[in-house]
Chain A
Amino acid sequence: MISEDDVKYVAGLSRIYLQDHEVGSLQKDLEKIIGYVEKLQKLDVTDIEPTSHALPLTNVFRDDEIKPSLDRTETMKIAVDQRDGAFKVPKVIE
Chain B
Amino acid sequence: MNLNELTAHELIDQISSSQISPQDVHKSVRDQIDAVDSKVKAYLRLNDNPQNYDAASPYPIPIAIKDNMCMQGIETTCASKILQGFKSPYDATVIRKLKDSGAILVGNTNMDEFAFGSSTENSAFGPTRNPWNLDCVPGGSSGGSAAAVAANEAIWSIGSDTGGSIRQPAAFCGVVGLKPTYGRVSRYGLIAFASSLDQIGPFTKDVRDSAMLLNIIAGYDPMDSTSADVPVPDYTKALTQDVSGLKIGIPKEYFIDGLDAEVKAAIDESIKVLKDCGAEFVEISLPHTEYAVATYYIVATAEASSNLARFDGVQYGLRSFPEKVRKSSLIDMYEESRDQGFGPESKRRIMLGTYSLSSGYYDAYYLRGLKVRTLIKNDFEKAFESVDAILTPTSPTTAFKVGERSDDPLSMYLSDIFTISANLAGIPAMSMPCGFSQDGLPIGLQLLTKAFDEEMLFRIAHTYEQNTEWHKRRTKFN
**Interface residue? A43 (CB, 8 A):** yes
Please tell me which one of the listed residues A11, A37, A60 contacts residue B225 in the complex, with CB atoms under 8 A apart.
A60
**Interface residue? A77 (CB, 8 A):** yes
Q: How many residues of B contact A (CB 8 A)?
A: 72
Residues of B within 8 A of A14 (CB): 305, 338, 347, 350-351, 354
Residues of B within 8 A of A4 (CB): none
**CB within 8 Å of A: which of B224-252?**
225-226, 228
Whether the pair B347, A75 counts as a contact (CB closer than 8 A) is no
**Interface residue? B36 (CB, 8 A):** no
Residues of B within 8 A of A10 (CB): 351, 354-355, 358
A54 CA / B423 CA spacing, docked (Å): 8
Whether the pair A40, B87 counts as a contact (CB closer than 8 A) is no
Please tell me which one of the listed residues A26, A32, A39, A50 contacts residue B370 in the complex, with CB atoms under 8 A apart.
A50
Whether the pair A37, B298 counts as a contact (CB closer than 8 A) is yes
Please tell me which one of the listed residues B196, B293, B309, B319 contacts residue A52 in the complex, with CB atoms under 8 A apart.
B196
**Interface residue? B334 (CB, 8 A):** yes
Main secondary structure of the interface of B (DSSP, over half): helix
Residues of A within 8 A of B373 (CB): 50-51
**CB within 8 Å of B: which of A33-73?**
33-34, 36-37, 39-41, 43, 45, 48-55, 57, 60, 62, 70-71
A2-14 CB contact bits vs B (8 Å, 1 = yes)? 0000110011011
Tell me how far the C-beta of B259 lies from the nearest C-beta in chain A, rounded to whole angstroms.
19
**Interface residue? B256 (CB, 8 A):** no
The residue on B at minimum CB distance from A2 is: B355
B270-309 CB contact bits vs A (8 Å, 1 = yes)? 0000000000000000001011011101100000010001
Whether the pair B372, A45 counts as a contact (CB closer than 8 A) is yes
Main secondary structure of the interface of A (DSSP, over half): loop
A13-B358, A17-B335, A55-B226 known; A36 and B410 CB under 8 Å?
A: yes
A1 CA / B316 CA spacing, docked (Å): 37
A16-B335, A80-B313 known; A30 and B372 CB under 8 Å?
A: no
A79 CA / B316 CA spacing, docked (Å): 5
Question: Which of A51, A70, A87 gathers most chain B CB within 10 Å?
Answer: A51
**Interface residue? B377 (CB, 8 A):** yes
Whether the pair A81, B319 counts as a contact (CB closer than 8 A) is yes
Residues of B within 8 A of A22 (CB): 344, 347
**Interface residue? A15 (CB, 8 A):** yes
A43-B372, A81-B319 known; A15 and B338 CB under 8 Å?
A: yes
Tell me how far the C-beta of B322 lies from the nearest C-beta in chain A, rounded to whole angstroms.
7
A81 CA / B182 CA spacing, docked (Å): 37
Please tell me which one of the listed residues A54, A87, A90 contacts residue B315 in the complex, with CB atoms under 8 A apart.
A87
B306-336 CB contact bits vs A (8 Å, 1 = yes)? 0001001111111100100000111111111
Task: Enumerate 30 A-B pairs (CB-CB under 8 Å) in ascending A order.
Answer: A10-B354, A14-B338, A15-B331, A15-B334, A16-B347, A17-B332, A26-B347, A33-B352, A33-B409, A33-B410, A37-B297, A37-B365, A40-B295, A40-B368, A41-B364, A43-B288, A43-B372, A43-B375, A45-B375, A49-B371, A50-B371, A52-B370, A53-B196, A54-B196, A54-B197, A55-B426, A78-B86, A80-B317, A80-B319, A89-B330
Chain A residues near B (Cβ < 8 Å): 6-7, 10-11, 13-19, 22, 25-26, 29-30, 32-34, 36-37, 39-41, 43, 45, 48-55, 57, 60, 62, 70-71, 74-75, 77-81, 87, 89-92
